[in-house]
Amino acid sequence: MELVVATRNKDKLREIKVLLKGLAVEVFSLDSFKGAPEVIEDGKTLEENAVKKAIQVSEFLKKFAVADDSGLEVDFLNGDPGVYSARFSGKGATYKSNNKKLLRLLKDVPLAKRKACFKCVIAIADKGRIVGVAEGKCRGKIGFESKGKSGFGYDPVFIPDSYNKTFAEMGTSRKNKISHRSKALLKAKKIISKYPSLYQ
C-alpha cells in the first residue's frame, strides 16, 4: 500500500514521516510525482484546508493521501495567526519574519496573557474521497524571545505546557512525543490501519 504525504513543506514532511513509522505503508512525498496540483488554501478552517489538499492530491494521483493543515492560535490575538500561520507576515513570509511579527505584537504582554495552542488537522483521502479526519492540539505559551535551533516555524517561540523550554530547544524527538502533529497522526494511523482498501 502506497501513501502520499500531500505537503510541500519539507519540515512538516520530515516530522510526518517519522510519526507514520509502524504503519504498513510505503510513504511517498509530492516530490516523487511531477505535476501534482498546487492546492489553493482558501478555507476558513484548518479542517477545510486539510480536506481540500487531501482530496485534490489523492484524486490527481489516483492514490491514498494524507494532508496536514496546521497553525498556531494565540489567545491575546483572538486566535490569530491560526489558519494564516504560514503567511502571517505577508507575502514572502518566512519563519523568521513570522516569529518577529508575533513577538512584536506580544511585546510587553505579561506571561499570563501569552497563552497559545498549536493545532494540526490531518485529512486522509483515497482517490478523491475523504476517508477520515483527525485533529491534535498542544497548549502552551509564547516566549519573550526566539530560543533554540531545532524544528521549524514557530517552534523557537512556543513553550508547551509543563515545560520551560521551547519546542526548538527541546529537540524533535521530545517534540514528537507531545506535539499537535503527533496527537493527530496517532489518531490518523488508527483510521488508516482500519481502512479496508489497505488489505485489498
| Window of 56-64, 68-76, 100-108, 123-131 that interacts with ligand ITT by CB under 6 A | 68-76
Is it true that the peptide bond before 81 is cis, omega within 30 degrees of 0? yes
Residues 23-42, one symbol each (x = binds ligand ITT by CB under 6 A, - = not), give ------------------x-
Are 39 and 95 in contact by the 8 Å Cβ rule? The answer is no
Active site residue 80: no
Q: Which residue has the cell 519539507?
A: 10
Q: Assess 71 for contact with ligand ITT (CB under 6 A).
A: yes
Are 153 and 91 in contact by the 8 Å Cβ rule? The answer is no
Catalytic entry in 42, 68, 69, 75 = 69
Query: What whole-number distance in Å separates Cα of residue 18 and Cα of residue 33?
Result: 21
Q: Which amino acid is at 5?
A: V
Return the residue of 152, 165, 171, 187 that touches ligand ITT, per CB under 6 A: 152
Residues 92-131, one symbol each (x = binds ligand ITT by CB under 6 A, - = not), give ---x--x---------------------------------
Q: What would you measure as the largest C-alpha separation in the chain, in angstroms?
A: 58
| Window of 3-11, 17-25, 127-135, 140-148 that interacts with ligand ITT by CB under 6 A | 3-11
Query: What whole-number distance in Å separates Cα of residue 165 and Cα of residue 175?
Result: 11
| Window of 18-26, 102-110, 149-157, 192-200 that interacts with ligand ITT by CB under 6 A | 149-157
Read off the DSSP letter of residue 199.
G
Q: Which of 58, 30, 19 is nearest to 184 (CA)?
A: 19
- Shortest Å distance, C-beta 121 to ligand ITT: 9
* Contact set with ligand ITT (CB under 6 A): 7-9, 12, 41, 68-71, 85-86, 95, 98, 151-155, 179, 181
